[in-house]
Amino acid sequence: MTTTPTVRKLSYSRAINEALAEELARDERVFIMGQDVGAFGGAFGVTRGLHARFGGERVIDTPISEMFLVGGGVGAAITGLRPVVEMQYADFLWNAGDEIVGKMSKWRYMHGGLFTVPMVLRLPEGAAGGAGPEHSTCPEAALLAAAGSYIVIPSTPYDAKGLLKSAIRDDNPVAYFEHKGMYGLKGEVPEEEYTIPLGQADLKRVGDDVSIITWGRMVHRALEAAETAAADGISVEVLDLRCLRPLDVAAIVATVEKTGRVIISHEAGKTGGGGGEIAAIIAEECITSLEAPVRRICGIETPVPQSTHLEQYVVPTAEDLGAAITDIARY
């Protein structure tokens, strides 16, 4: 008789921490830098304990210099190291725009493939607790045009750990978005080491009538909405893309062909969010499978207000999704 392994539950934040610890231990070329990532453990506590365990040369506190954080990471990466850079907020990618888009993403290509740029940018994103217009966005789509870099957005502790380990080991640069509102979220994470390949979407729920294609924190609201819809007899499939690059086009096409009714949902505002790209791919690749117009259920198209009172209206809720499901199922 085999014993069921005891299932361990970890928070999203701890899962990331564990991935970092394991990779720091495994490969001495890996190091972490960012603001207050050292003894303080990071603005959100994600790097807690790493400074004590690995020391100040592996876990480095930096000045408030985002261009250095990324550009310096590139410099270290092309000379043999594997930096994991923490931005205090994902929104700050705009403070290092050229370093991300022009240097991290292009250095290898534009120098004829002579270098690799194995670095990971950790980007805590999302609306959570009134952090305002400059500390609350989900800017992952800003990097869609930045060919050369991968874009990873895990939605569960399990995915967060497995994808981060792959990202650190990958020789391409990776922008890794982690939603601040999920740090406390708990989920199963095996004791044993594992990795998740970049570029594979994950069916978080299987269904027949309607597909929700989503990523990041919206996955959970989609699952909630799917649960509610099930009670009404509508079977909803939830596809978590997990990566915007490499993008799992096959998984997108498969779910569209299966249900013919698609809702795309992300927290970022609709215009210029990643959903446009997904909708376009559907319109190109499998439009004839559609039984209803595509719908995007996304964040508001304004900066995120500072006031928590208004902030609550910014991100689509499970109810918003529920209404869209009912609508599209009836179409």
Find where tokens 């305002």 sit. Answer: 132
Cα–Cα distance, 102 to 119 (Å, whole number): 15
Question: Is 168 an interacting residue with respect to other proteins (CB under 8 A)?
Answer: no
Q: At what angle do helices 275-285 and 249-259 cross, to 10 degrees?
A: 70
Binder of other proteins out of 21, 249, 300, 323 (CB under 8 A): 300
Which of 11, 13, 17, 35 is close enough to bind other proteins by CB under 8 A? Answer: 35
- In the complex with other proteins, the residue whose CB is nearer, 158 or 183, is 183
> Under rule CB under 8 A, which residues in 80-109 are in contact with other proteins?
80-81, 83, 91-92, 94-95, 98-99, 102-103, 107-109
Q: How many residues bind a second copy (CB under 8 A)?
A: 55
Q: Length of the chain, please?
A: 331
Nearest-approach distance from CB 146 to a second copy, in angstroms: 7
Per CB under 8 A, does 38 bind a second copy?
no
According to DSSP H, which parts of the chain are helical? 12-26, 50-54, 66-77, 97, 107-110, 157-169, 218-231, 249-259, 275-285, 308-311, 318-330
Asked if 195 is part of the footprint of other proteins (rule: CB under 8 A), the reply reads no
Cα separation, 34 vs 222, in Å, equals 33
- For residue 284, the tally of other CB atoms under 10 A from its CB is 9
Residue 97 in the binding site for a second copy (CB under 8 A): yes
Q: How far is the CB of 2 from a second copy (least distance, A)?
A: 46
Site string for a second copy, 107-146 (x = CB under 8 A): --xx---------------------xxx----x-xxxxxx
CA dihedral sign of residues 316, 318, 321, 326: negative
The residues of the shown chain that bind ligand TPP, judged by CB under 6 A, are: 35, 64, 66, 88, 92, 95
- Nearest residue to 263 (alpha-carbon basis) of 331, 179, 311, 181: 331
Selected catalytic residue, list 51, 111, 135, 220: 135
- Token output for 157: 């502790």
Residue 134 near other proteins by CB under 8 A: yes
Rule CB under 8 A: say whether 313 interacts with other proteins.
yes
- Indicate whether 57 belongs to the interface with other proteins (CB under 8 A): yes
Strands of 141-235 (E only): list them: 150-152, 174-179, 186-188, 202-205, 210-214
Integer Cα distance of 32 and 20 in angstroms: 9
Does 268 bind a second copy (CB under 8 A)? Our answer is: yes
303 binds a second copy (CB under 8 A): yes
The answer to whether 269 and 138 have CB atoms below 8 angstroms apart is no
For residue 135, indicate whether it is catalytic: yes
256, 312, 303: which is closest to 284 by C-alpha? Answer: 256
Q: Of the candidates 64, 250, 283, 310, which one interacts with a second copy according to CB under 8 A? A: 283
Element (H, E) at 79: none
- Considering only 91, 237, 240, 248, the residue that binds a second copy (CB under 8 A) is 91
Measured from the CB atom, the residue of 130 and 276 that comes closer to other proteins is 130
Q: Is 307 or 331 the residue whose CB approaches other proteins more closely?
A: 307
Give the interface size with other proteins as a residue count (CB under 8 A): 72
* 59-61/30-34 β-pairing: parallel
Among 16, 76, 90, 121, binds other proteins (CB under 8 A): 76
- Active site (catalytic) residues: 135
Q: Which residues bind a second copy (CB under 8 A)?
A: 91-98, 100-102, 105-106, 109-110, 132-134, 139, 141-148, 245, 268-269, 271-273, 275-280, 282-285, 287-288, 290, 293-296, 301-303, 305-306
